[in-house]
Copies of this chain bind each other. A is one copy, B any other.
Amino acid sequence: MRHMSIGDLSRLTGVKPTTIRWYEAEGWLPPPARTGGGHRSYGDAHVRRLGFIRHSRELGFSMADIRSLLNLADRPWDDCSAAHAIATAQIAEIDARLRRLQALRSELERMTQGCEGGHAGECRIIETLSDFAHGHCAGPGHG
């Protein structure tokens, strides 16, 4: 698969053509060669780089994180402790989101269990939501 179209690359990596173009425009992917008619033509290096980006995104890394990780991947003699730090921070962040989501889940569970149908005027769900001073949901941020 030497020279592929953006559609081929898209099918290969699972990233939409529009997103691939956007990555290029924003500097995440180097501009590929072009056919005589101006169509993009990608090689293996693009497949690898796009794959890296996509997989990192799937693991929840921000584009800022990916910038650092790509730098490391591009300079293989560097110390990889930076990668370790980024990944560890990501785990901590995920843990925080897990805790938060679990707390939300409990409150929603309590909320729905209190509701036994009937009029909205006596609905526990509506009541609970109205109670903005409610103490069960801690801290800021939205899981």
Q: Which residues of A contact B (CB under 8 A)?
A: 13, 48, 50-52, 54-60, 69, 72-73, 75-81, 83-84, 87-88, 90-91, 94-95, 97-98, 101-102, 104-105, 107-109, 111-112, 115, 117-123, 125-126, 128-134, 137, 142-143
Q: Which residue of B lies closest to A50 (CB)?
A: B132
Distance, CA A78 to CA B98, complexed state (A): 35
The complex is assembled from copies of this chain, and their number is 2
Distance, CA A119 to CA B77, complexed state (A): 5
Distance, CA A83 to CA B108, complexed state (A): 11
Across-interface contacts of A56 in B (CB, < 8 A)? 129
Across-interface contacts of A119 in B (CB, < 8 A)? 76-80
Contact of A142 among B13, B58, B118, B133 (CB under 8 A): B58
* Cβ–Cβ contact A129 & B69, under 8 A: yes
* Cβ–Cβ contact A130 & B97, under 8 A: no
Q: Is the interface of A mostly helix, strand, loop or mixed?
A: helix
Across-interface contacts of A84 in B (CB, < 8 A)? 112, 115, 117, 125
* Cβ–Cβ contact B137 & A58, under 8 A: yes
Across-interface contacts of A129 in B (CB, < 8 A)? 52, 55-56, 59, 69, 73
- Would you give 19 A-B contacts (Cβ < 8 Å), ordered by A? A13-B132, A52-B130, A55-B130, A55-B134, A58-B104, A58-B137, A58-B142, A60-B142, A69-B129, A75-B120, A76-B121, A77-B121, A79-B118, A83-B125, A83-B126, A84-B112, A84-B115, A97-B101, A98-B98
